[in-house]
Amino acid sequence: MSNKNYNKAKVLIVGAGPAGLATAIQLKALRPETEICVIEKGAELGNHNLSGAVLEAEPLHTLLNSAVPGWQENAEAKEVLASKINKDNIMFFLGRKISFNIFFAVRLAKMLRLGFGQMLHNGDYSVSISRFTKWLGRLAKGLGVEVLTGFAAEDIILAPLDGSNVGQKASISEKHLTGRDESNSMAPAVLLRRSEAMGVKLVDQGLDKDGNRQPNFVEGETINASFVVLAEGCDGLLTEKFIEKAGLRRQSPQLYSVGVKELIKVSGEQYNKFSCGRVVHAMGFPLWTPVLGPGMFGGGIVYAGVKEHLSVGIIVGADWKYCDFNPQDALSNFKEHRFVKQFIEGGTVVEAGAKMIPEGGYHAIPRDPETGTIGKGNVLILGDSAGFVNMLKIKGLHNAIDSGMQAAKAITETFDNREMAALRYTELIDKSNIAREMKSAMNFRQAIAKFGPLQGMPLSVFGRLLPKFKIEKDYEAMTTARYRLRGSREFDKDTFTATAATEHREEQPSHLTILDSAICKTKCTPQLNSPCITFCPAGVYETIHDEVKPANPSNCLHCKSCQRKCPFDNIRWTVPEGGGGPRYKRM
């Protein structure tokens, strides 16, 4: 973006997370003269990044060894990557007191070459993804990448329909035409192909709550680009709009999980007892108890942070059926389990947050039905936006970074033939470790969604031998059943939201919309008691004068759980003004 012209870039990357920044860093290594712009809706780098987080080293090392020689001697690198995992526990919790270490079963599965054997973390980095992202951003800036924070994009602009290329197909199309998602009515059997994406439209700023222009109104500009890289993270707004506009399809619906996490300051004695370099993943209570219930997919985590801090969280599949379930209640139960409580009792929650994770796997990757491309033309879809999370490992950061490197290579190779970028990117992905991992776990999550944890987890051992199950979307799973472990005390969402440091300009239009309030009144509230009020981690939704409303949009953590879990698919999330949302520092 020469002369600070923010209206045009050769390569525009939407989202300054690991995937987007990896693309920028790798591309600068391959073509240093390329103008690259990364836009990020958060106020600062890392503000909207939350994860466990366990990071496999190899993709990161491959990226930085080529792009930033000597990076390992950098003081910030040593600080961000200071914690290497040397103690890996896989636990099963039965009730509030009993726990079993089942790590031996994972080791056995690895010996037998079963999918569960991938769930090993020794030698990986345990990182704060917020700090990790900020560090990558600094590296990218040092290479000459323009990284702009507080820039929120609301739409992707496609060129007019080009009738000359209707019905054309590319060489890899046959591999991906089987098993189409017939429920996706927006994509006809024969698609009119758009020639290319022209750029993205930024959100308007300076509107009041009713959408009227205030004196400080600034119309959202359009940033034009030759290549558009979508790396927004899970359920990205522009990604989903592009999927619809370009007619991409998923063979199976994307499945999500909701994760809530707290960073807890504990005593030195407790931290030493837990030990630095240790990670704990726990199944069972409070999400799944065989036969008795509840019966949800997911589990809890405890990771050692730095300087007497422990990360404690719960991740639960968003296909839960309980209309009164709140993942934060499950987190409270998890923290009260005897095994966990010994390490955190008396501690102080210093930061908290929530996000969704894409769990649908290989069959949920959005592809062009004609060519099989992950994206289309000059638009590439990366990382969590594409759904590159390996649920057998419970990890996706390494795949996000790897996808960024593949995107950079594809752009380099198609620099003068940009309409072939998505095709080349997909060829590189399909030959990479990303594809091998995604294929190895392709039926894992679907088997559990179809049959539940008790039957689905052992069945998933057969992996790729299983058929592609027809499954429902997450919001369709909700029933009138109740979560039997819900306590009598309401979770303190106000304090949780305060520790996420979330904020938005109060006078702007709400970025959360209930499409049809009559559905809330006549169906959702009488049948299910308005679940969004319960499960929203930030307390955005309230009943006001007998009507459910997004009464507190300024509390929003941008997790988008409401959009994917409203039982009547009646809520939509769009982007607020740039700089709004959580302000994570160490998550």
* pLDDT-based confidence at residue 461 (cuts at 50, 70, 90): confident
Residue 4: pLDDT band with limits 50, 70, 90 = low
- Do both 434 and 409 map to the same domain? yes
Calculate what percentage of the chain has a pLDDT beyond 90.
87
Q: Domain tally for the chain?
A: 3
Q: Which residues pair with 202 in a beta bridge?
A: 153
Domain assignment of residue 470, yes or no: no
Q: Is residue 462 part of a domain?
A: no
Contact indicator for 569, 477 with CB cutoff of 8 Å? no
Report d(CA 384, CA 233) in Å as an integer.
5
Predicted confidence (pLDDT) per residue in 147-171, tens digit: 999 999 999 999 886 554 444 443 3
pLDDT of 121 strictly over 90: yes
Question: What was the pLDDT predicted at 180?
Answer: 34
* Shared domain check, 178 and 215: yes
Q: What is the mean predicted confidence (pLDDT) over 411-424?
A: 97
Rounded to whole angstroms, the Cα distance separating 176 from 439 reads 13
Residue type, 356: M
Give yes or no: residues 161 and 13 share one domain: yes
Q: Is residue 142 part of a domain?
A: yes
Mean pLDDT of the chain: 92
* Residues 211 and 157 occupy one common structural domain: yes
Q: Using a CB cutoff of 8 Å and minimum separation of 24, what contacts does 167-173 make?
A: 167/370, 168/193, 168/370, 169/370, 169/371, 170/370, 170/371, 170/372, 170/373, 170/423, 172/371, 172/372, 172/373, 172/423, 172/426, 172/427, 172/430, 173/370, 173/371, 173/372
Q: What is the pLDDT of residue 463?
A: 81
Q: Are residues 283 and 232 in the same domain?
A: no
Domain's final residue, options 308, 325, 358 = 358
Residue 452 lies inside a defined structural domain of this protein: no
**Quick one: pLDDT at residue 462?**
87
| 135-145 average pLDDT score | 98
| Same-domain check for residues 186 and 270 | no
Q: Please state, in angstroms and rounded to a whole number, the distance separating the CA atoms of residues 556 and 512.
A: 9
350 touches 389 (CB < 8 A): no
pLDDT in tens, 505-514: 999 999 999 9
Determine the Cα–Cα distance for residues 328 and 341; give it in Å rounded to an integer.
16
Q: What is the pLDDT of residues 537-569, one digit of tens each?
A: 999 999 999 999 999 999 999 999 999 999 999
Q: Measure the CA–CA gap between 325 and 313, rounded to whole angstroms.
A: 16
Q: Between 488 and 514, name the one with better pLDDT.
A: 514
Whether residues 298 and 276 share a domain: the answer is: yes
Mean pLDDT on 127-142: 98
Whether residue 556 lies inside any domain: the answer is yes
Kindly state the tokens that stand for 276.
């630095």
Instruction: Return left, alpha or beta for 278; rule: phi > 0 is left, psi -120 to 50 is alpha, else beta.
Output: beta
Cis peptide before 188 (omega within 30 of 0): no
The confidence score (pLDDT) of residue 237 equals: 98
444 pLDDT band, cuts 50/70/90, is: very high
Give the whole-angstrom CA distance, residue 355 versus residue 402.
22
Examine residue 283 and state whether it is found in any structural domain, yes or no.
yes
Which among 162, 172, 169 has a CA at the least distance from the CA of 190? 169
* Residue 162: per-residue pLDDT: 55
How far, in Å, CA of 380 to CA of 386, rounded? Answer: 9
Q: Tell me: do 109 and 234 sit in the same domain.
A: no
Whether the predicted pLDDT of 175 surpasses 60: no
Amino acid type, 218: V
Q: Which DSSP string do the residues of 160-224 spell out, in sequence order?
A: PB-GGGTT---TTGGGG-SS--TT-TTS-SSPPPB--EEEEEEPPEEE-TTSPEEEEEEPPPEEE
Over residues 278-294, the mean pLDDT reads: 95
Distance, CA of 210 to CA of 485 (rounded, Å): 41
According to DSSP, residue 268 is labeled: H
Identify the domain containing residue 113 by its residue range: 87-127+255-358
Q: pLDDT by residue (tens digit) across 187-219?
A: 333 344 455 899 999 999 999 999 999 999 999
Tokens of 331: 């987190």
Asked whether the predicted pLDDT for residue 183 surpasses 90, the reply is no
Instruction: Convert the pLDDT of each residue in 44-67 to its tens digit.
Output: 999 999 998 999 999 999 999 999
Query: Would residue 488 count as lying in a domain?
Result: no
pLDDT tens figures, 328-381:
999 999 999 999 999 999 999 999 999 999 999 999 999 999 999 999 999 999
Q: Which of 442, 477, 508 is the last residue of a domain?
A: 442
Give the integer Cα–Cα distance in Å for 247 and 267. 54
C-alpha torsion angle, residues 156, 161, 165, 170 (rounded to 10): 20
Among the three residues 332, 358, 384, which one is the final residue of a domain in this structure? 358
